Amino acid sequence: MSGPGKNNNKNNKDVARPAGNNKLTANRFEQELANAPADVQDKLRTLLQQLALGAGSPAGGAPAAASGKEPKSMDEHKFWKTQPVVKHDEVVEEDGPIEDDVPLDQVRATPYPLPKEFEWSLVDVENDKEIKELYELLTLNYVEDDDAMFRFDYSAEFLKWALLPPGWKKAWHIGVRVASNKKLVAFISGIPQDVRVHTAVKRMVEINFLCVHKKLRSKRLAPVLIKEVTRRTHLEGIFQAVYTAGVVLPKPMATCRYFHRSLNPKKLVETGFSHLGRNMTMARLIKLNKMDDQPSTPGLRPMEEKDVAAVAALMNKYSAHFDVAPYFQEADVRHWLISRPGVVWGYVIENPESKEITDFFSFYSLPSTVINNPKHSTLNAAYSFYYAVQTPDEALSKIEDATEREKARAEGIKGRLTTLMQDALILARQNNFDVFNALNLMDNALFTEDLRFGPGDGYLHFYLYNWRCREISSEKVGLVML
């Protein structure tokens, strides 16, 4: 890349990027419709977002799968048409379930049949041998494209963190083995989580780590895995699920774009993660991305057990602004946000005088294996996780116009948030990360440009299972999934 700096971004928008052009269109529309009622504006934004997605192209940096072209494959159609999900051509006007809850006595009592040479096998995530089997399955098979330069490299500790949150269920760590040799060849998992979508709070299951051994894709195990995890979720009285994917399925409730902040620009260029433009010097790229050695916010320190209650309160108050967000109990905060070596980093800001916890932020580690690179074997990527800053609630409550209130809120938190995320970048650099990734969800768009994030070529789509949901714009997404 020729530098994630301000000017370059502008270049991208102005000249040759379809996605950028759509952004301009969106901006002009927003200006012209500034006086329209808020709900009309929301609808238009949704439409514009769809347009922007549809116009994405490989040339614009969006991979074909994320470009919004509706997948027309028969397989996809055949499976998803049987599932309670929003159809591609459906526009949701009102939130609600797609099918009724299933009474327990009508839930299928036995596992779905597998092709005869396979057998179900729950994975004991707490068992070192079995977590290693899972780690190997995911590391070698979770990314399809063998030509890819990078492959996710989940650590065993990371998987334990991801799969054993408060309320975890062994029945939802579902493996498939080859019956004859017991080799683990497929996996799907769920974890329970209270999620608020617009105004409804639902106990949901977060589905993740669906993976079939790449040599066995012809056995079409994935639909059985999806059905089986659904059945096991129904057995626990849960009927809604949330999941994310890099591909377009029927039908995203929200679509976010990845942004990347170079911490080790030279390594990123050498691994092919970013590209040195012809007229960009390595020297300048390094200079542009230089940061202070130490964080600057007074009262910044790692989060501790004693901060849990304060952080939970901060988090839930801050999340109220978003249209989809998890509802964290104190146990969730303790699990997800207190630092674990090599997995997650959580920090709070403690007011030096009042000792009050005023803000927090966190990031987690998800390294990638660099495939076939003579110099580097691993890319250390930090991902922005949950955070919260103080919002000027009293002043905001006096503003009646919704658009004006949003604007005042953004102005009110932008400076503080940018300072905190700058510290997060510095801490990530201190911890030997090469790049800091963030989606354009929550309030991330307020700091990405100033902190020299560059747009990525990846998108992440958010989905709900058995829940119709009016489309949500990226900055109203308050949910981060691993």
Partner 1 sequence: MLKDRFNSAVAHMNSRKDLKLPNATKLALYADYKLATEGLCTQPRPSLLEFEKSAKWKAWKETGDTYTLELSSSTTTTTTNATSTTDSEDADTAEFNVSTKAMVNYIQKVEEGQWGWVFDPTSNVDVSSIAAKLSTGDHDLDELQAYLGVDKDEISAEELLARPYVPHENTQFDPSTMTAAGISTMAMPTEEEGEDALEAAKSGSVEVLEKALAANPNLVNLKDDMASHLHPHSTLGMTMLHWACDRGSLRKVKLLVETYKVDVNALDDEGSTPLHYACLSGWPELAAYLQSLPAVDQTIKDNSGMTAAEYLD
Binding positions for partner 1, 40-69, rule CB under 8 A: 61, 63-66
Choosing from 166, 272, 299, 412, the residue that interacts with partner 1 (CB under 8 A) is: 272
Choosing from 203, 214, 405, 470, the residue that interacts with partner 1 (CB under 8 A) is: 214
Choosing from 28, 87, 170, 220, the residue that interacts with partner 1 (CB under 8 A) is: 220
Choosing from 184, 185, 338, 451, the residue that interacts with partner 1 (CB under 8 A) is: 185
455 binds partner 1 per the rule CB under 8 A: yes
117 binds partner 1 per the rule CB under 8 A: yes
Binding positions for partner 1, 69-88, rule CB under 8 A: 71, 73, 75-76, 78-79, 82
12 binds partner 1 per the rule CB under 8 A: yes
Query: What count of Cα atoms within 13 Å lies in the side-chain half-sphere of residue 331?
Result: 8
Residue 117, classed as helix, strand or coil, is coil
CA 289 to chain centre: 24
Choosing from 52, 53, 125, 143, the residue that interacts with partner 1 (CB under 8 A) is: 143
Minimum distance, C-beta of residue 109 to partner 1, in the bound complex (Å): 10
Minimum distance, C-beta of residue 45 to partner 1, in the bound complex (Å): 23
Choosing from 57, 142, 167, 339, the residue that interacts with partner 1 (CB under 8 A) is: 142
215 binds partner 1 per the rule CB under 8 A: yes
Binding track over 420-439 against partner 1, x by CB under 8 A: -----------------x--
213 binds partner 1 per the rule CB under 8 A: yes
180 binds partner 1 per the rule CB under 8 A: yes
39's tokens = 């709900």
Please say whether the beta carbons of 421 and 408 come within 8 A.
Answer: no
444 binds partner 1 per the rule CB under 8 A: no
- Residue 275: φ, ψ to 5°: -125, 130
CA dist., res. 464 & res. 211, Å (int): 19
Query: What count of Cα atoms within 13 Å lies in the side-chain half-sphere of residue 146?
Result: 3
Binding track over 275-304 against partner 1, x by CB under 8 A: x-xxxxxxxx-xx-----------------
Query: Around Cβ 94, how many Cβ atoms within 10 Å?
Result: 8
211 binds partner 1 per the rule CB under 8 A: yes
210 binds partner 1 per the rule CB under 8 A: yes
Minimum distance, C-beta of residue 466 to partner 1, in the bound complex (Å): 13
Element at 326 (helix H, strand E):
strand 324-326
292's tokens = 């202070």
Q: H-type helices in 142-293, by residue range?
A: 156-163, 222-235, 265-270, 282-288
Please say whether the beta carbons of 129 and 135 come within 8 A.
Answer: no
193's tokens = 């989580």
Binding positions for partner 1, 347-386, rule CB under 8 A: 368
**Binding residue count for partner 1, defined by CB under 8 A:** 109
274 binds partner 1 per the rule CB under 8 A: yes
217 binds partner 1 per the rule CB under 8 A: yes
Residue 184 per-residue DSSP state: E
Residue 305, judged by CB atoms within 10 A of its CB (0-12, 13-18, 19+), counts as exposed
With CB under 8 A as the contact rule, which of the stretches 46-54, 301-309, 394-402, 456-464 interacts with partner 1? 456-464
SS (H, E, C) 194-231: EEEECCEEEEEEEEEEEEECHHHHHHCCHHHHHHHHHH
Minimum distance, C-beta of residue 111 to partner 1, in the bound complex (Å): 6
Nearest Cα residue to 192 out of 181, 182, 179, 202: 202
| CB closer to partner 1 out of 244 and 319 | 244
| CB closer to partner 1 out of 152 and 327 | 152
Binding positions for partner 1, 226-265, rule CB under 8 A: 226-227, 231, 243-247, 249, 258, 260, 262
111's tokens = 């596992």
| Residue environment code for 228-252, b if the CB has 16+ CB neighbours within 10 A, otherwise e | bbbbbbbebebbbbbbbbeebbbbb
| CB closer to partner 1 out of 238 and 460 | 460
Please say whether the beta carbons of 174 and 123 come within 8 A.
Answer: yes
CA dist., res. 73 & res. 373, Å (int): 35
| CB closer to partner 1 out of 185 and 413 | 185
448 binds partner 1 per the rule CB under 8 A: no
Minimum distance, C-beta of residue 388 to partner 1, in the bound complex (Å): 24
- In total, the chain counts a number of residues equal to 482
With CB under 8 A as the contact rule, which of the stretches 157-165, 269-277, 328-336, 402-410 interacts with partner 1? 269-277
